[in-house]
C-alpha cells in the first residue's frame, strides 16, 4: 500500500508504561492523518472542588494525594501560593531544604522514567524486565537512583509517597545532622552514576525527529529553576506566575477528561526538554562541558532528546542537594508561625514533567473558597497530539498497524505523561425542567 493512498483507522485501546489510563485513535485517509485523538478517559477526580472549605494544612496534605510520583511538586506549588496570601517569607534554611526535597522528587521520577519506561523503547525491548536480561547494571542503577530520591523525600517528609512534613512557614521537623551526613554520602555516590547516565542516554539510538514547538518553563535569576521563577518561553514570553491566565487558556475537548491548554492560542511544551532549552546557561560549567562532550546539542528541537535532558537534571538534582546540605545544621525553629488572612495567591514550581500552576482564594479564616490547579500533563496534551501527527507521518504511514502503534506509544511515553494528575476537572452542565 502506498504512502499516498492508504486509508484506515488505528486504535490503541490502552497505553502501556504510562501513569494512568489513556488511548490513541488515528484515522488515516488518502495517505494522511485526517484525525488523531489522545483520549484520556480516567474519571475526573474533582480535586479542586474537594479542597473548598479546607484549611491551609489540609490543602498541603491533600494535594500530595493527587500523584504518587510527584506529590512534592503539588505541595510546593500549594505552599508557595498559600504563603503569598498569608504574607509569610520562609527562612533561608527552609527555602534551601525545600529545594533539596524537590531535588529528591526529580531524582526518583526521572530515574524511573529513563530506566523503566523510556529506555526499553530506544533499545527495542517491550518492558524493563526484558531489558534487564541484557542490561542488568543499567536497570540496577536506575533503581538505586530512584531509591535515593525516595530517601531524600522521606528525610524531610516522613515518608516517600504522599509526604506529610511540609507546612505553611516551613517544615514540622528538621532532620538531624547525622541523618543528613549519611544521606550526603549516598548523594556523592549517586553523582558519579549521574555522569555515567548522561553519557549512556546520549549514546542511545535516538531517532532524528526535529520539530517546531514552543518551550515554556520557569526561569530563575540565578539558579536552574525548580521551586520558583518567572514563566518564560523561547519565543519571548516573560511573565509573573500571577499573570498566567492572561496568556494561557485551558479548555475542554470531547475526547479527554483532562483539560487542554494553549499559550496565545497555540500548543506548547513543558517539561525537562523545555526547561533545559530555556535554562542552558543556568547549568554549572562542568556539567555544561560534560553535555557538550556527549555530542547532543542543546537547545534541541528533537523531542526524543528529553531522555538526555532528564539525565542532565538528575545530575543537577544531586549536585544541588550536595551543595545545599554542605555544612548542614538543623534549624532550631524549622517553621515560623503563620497568620490567618483572606486573599488570592499563586504558586508555580517545576514538577518533573513541567510547570505546575496553582491558584487559591482563601476566606478570613484562611479556608479555601476556590482552587485551580493546572498540571503539566494537561498542558502537554495538545503538543503531544501535534507531535504524534508529525512524528507518525515522518515515520511512514505506509507501515503496518503494529509498527505505527508502537511508534505512537513511544512518542507518548517520551513525554512521561501523568494522566491521573491531569484528570481532576469536569466541565459539568445540567439542564433542569
Are 177 and 227 within one domain?
Answer: yes
Residue 429 in domain: no
Task: Yes or no: say if 328 and 177 are a contact pair by the CB < 8 Å rule.
Answer: yes
- Please check if 418 is assigned to a binding site: yes
- Please check if 373 is assigned to a binding site: yes
Retrieve residue 344's grid coordinates: 488570592
Report residue 107's pLDDT band, with 50, 70 and 90 as the boundaries.
very high
Are 19 and 67 within one domain?
Answer: no
- Please check if 83 is assigned to a binding site: no
Residue 1 in domain: no
Retrieve residue 366's grid coordinates: 484562611
Are 105 and 12 within one domain?
Answer: no
Are 96 and 33 within one domain?
Answer: no
- Please check if 348 is assigned to a binding site: no
Are 24 and 102 within one domain?
Answer: no
- Please check if 48 is assigned to a binding site: yes
Residue 433 in domain: no
Burial bucket for residue 49 (CB in 10 Å: 0-12, 13-18, 19+)? middle
Residue 426 in domain: no
- pLDDT, tens digit, 9 for 90 and up, residues 248-276: 999 888 888 888 899 999 999 999 999 99
Provide mean pLDDT across the span 63-68: 90
**Residue 177: CATH number of its domain:** 1.10.645.10
Task: Yes or no: say if 316 and 287 are a contact pair by the CB < 8 Å rule.
Answer: yes
Residue 60 in domain: yes
CA distance linking residue 379 with residue 381, whole number of Å? 6
Retrieve residue 355's grid coordinates: 510547570
- Residue 15, pLDDT score: 55
Query: What percentage of the chain has pLDDT greater than the value 90?
Result: 77
Cα 369 to the center of its chain, rounded Å: 27
Average pLDDT, the chain: 91
Are 386 and 409 within one domain?
Answer: yes
**E strand or H helix at 199:** helix 177-202
Are 35 and 183 within one domain?
Answer: no
- pLDDT, tens digit, 9 for 90 and up, residues 273-304: 999 999 999 999 999 999 999 999 999 999 99
Domain hosting 32: range is 8-40
Residue whose C-alpha is closest to residue 377's, from 266, 263, 259: 259
Residue 428 in domain: no
Are 51 and 116 within one domain?
Answer: yes
How many domains does the chain fold into? Answer: 2
Instruction: State the chain's maximal CA–CA distance in angstroms.
Output: 72
**E strand or H helix at 381:** helix 376-395
Residue 430 in domain: no
Cα 315 to the center of its chain, rounded Å: 16
Task: Yes or no: say if 408 and 22 are a contact pair by the CB < 8 Å rule.
Answer: no
Are 74 and 22 within one domain?
Answer: no
Retrieve residue 314's grid coordinates: 538528575
Are 93 and 214 within one domain?
Answer: yes
Residue 410 in domain: yes
Q: Please determine, for residue 424, whether its predicted confidence score (pLDDT) is greater than 80.
A: no
Q: In what order do the strands lie in the sheet with 8-12?
A: 8-12, 22-29, 32-40
Q: Please determine, for residue 417, whether its predicted confidence score (pLDDT) is greater than 50.
A: yes
Residue whose C-alpha is closest to residue 329's, from 151, 101, 169, 175: 175
pTM of this structure: 0.92
Are 97 and 12 within one domain?
Answer: no
CA distance linking residue 225 with residue 241, whole number of Å? 13
Question: What 3-state class would DSSP assign to 354?
Answer: strand
Are 145 and 181 within one domain?
Answer: yes
Amino acid at each position: 500500500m502506498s504512502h499516498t493512498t492508504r486509508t484506515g483507522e488505528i486504535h490503541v485501546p490502552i497505553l502501556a508504561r504510562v501513569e494512568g489510563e489513556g488511548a490513541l485513535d488515528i484515522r488515516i485517509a488518502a495517505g494522511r492523518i485526517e484525525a488523531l485523538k489522545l483520549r484520556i478517559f480516567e474519571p475526573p477526580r474533582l480535586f479542586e472542588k474537594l479542597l473548598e472549605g479546607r484549611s491551609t494544612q489540609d490543602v498541603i496534605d491533600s494535594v500530595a494525594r493527587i500523584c504518587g510520583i510527584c506529590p512534592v511538586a503539588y505541595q510546593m506549588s500549594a505552599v508557595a501560593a498559600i504563603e503569598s496570601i498569608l504574607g509569610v517569607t520562609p527562612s533561608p534554611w527552609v527555602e534551601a531544604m525545600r529545594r533539596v526535597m524537590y531535588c529528591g522528587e526529580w531524582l526518583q521520577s526521572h530515574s524511573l522514567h529513563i530506566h523503566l519506561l523510556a529506555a526499553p523503547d530506544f533499545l527495542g525491548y517491550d518492558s524493563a524486565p526484558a531489558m534487564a536480561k541484557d542490561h542488568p547494571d543499567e536497570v540496577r542503577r536506575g533503581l538505586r537512583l530512584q531509591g535515593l530520591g525516595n530517601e531524600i523525600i522521606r528525610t524531610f517528609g516522613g515518608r516517600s509517597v504522599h509526604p506529610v512534613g511540609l507546612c505553611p512557614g516551613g517544615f514540622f521537623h528538621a532532620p538531624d545532622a547525622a541523618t543528613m551526613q549519611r544521606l550526603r554520602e549516598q548523594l556523592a555516590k549517586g553523582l558519579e552514576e549521574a555522569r555515567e547516565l548522561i553519557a549512556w542516554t546520549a549514546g542511545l539510538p535516538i531517532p532524528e525527529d526535529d520539530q517546531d514547538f514552543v518551550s515554556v518553563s520557569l526561569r530563575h535569576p540565578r539558579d536552574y529553576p525548580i521551586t520558583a521563577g518567572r514563566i518564560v518561553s523561547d519565543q519571548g514570553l516573560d511573565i509573573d506566575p500571577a499573570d498566567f491566565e492572561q496568556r494561557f487558556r485551558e479548555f475542554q475537548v470531547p475526547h479527554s477528561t483532562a483539560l487542554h491548554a494553549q499559550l496565545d492560542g497555540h500548543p506548547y511544551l513543558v517539561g525537562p526538554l523545555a526547561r533545559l532549552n530555556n535554562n542552558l546557561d543556568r547549568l554549572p560549567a562542568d556539567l555544561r562541558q560534560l553535555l557538550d562532550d556527549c555530542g547532543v546539542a542543546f537547545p534541541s528541537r528533537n523531542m526524543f532528546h528529553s531522555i538526555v535532558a532528564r539525565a542532565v537534571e538528575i545530575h543537577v538534582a544531586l549536585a544541588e542537594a550536595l551543595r545545599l546540605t554542605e555544612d548542614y545544621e538543623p534549624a532550631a525553629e524549622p517553621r515560623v508561625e503563620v497568620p490567618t488572612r483572606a486573599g488570592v495567591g499563586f504558586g508555580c514550581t517545576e514538577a518533573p514533567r513541567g510547570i505546575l500552576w496553582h491558584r487559591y482564594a482563601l476566606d478570613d479564616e484562611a479556608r479555601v473558597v476556590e482552587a485551580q490547579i493546572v498540571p503539566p500533563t494537561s498542558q502537554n496534551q495538545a503538543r503531544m497530539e501535534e507531535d504524534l501527527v508529525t512524528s507518525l507521518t515522518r515515520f511512514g504511514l505506509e507501515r503496518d498497524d503494529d509498527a505505527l502503534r508502537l511508534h505512537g506509544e513511544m512518542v507518548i511515553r517520551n513525554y512521561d505523561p501523568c494522566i491521573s494528575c491531569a484528570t481532576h476537572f469536569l466541565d459539568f452542565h445540567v439542564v433542569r425542567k
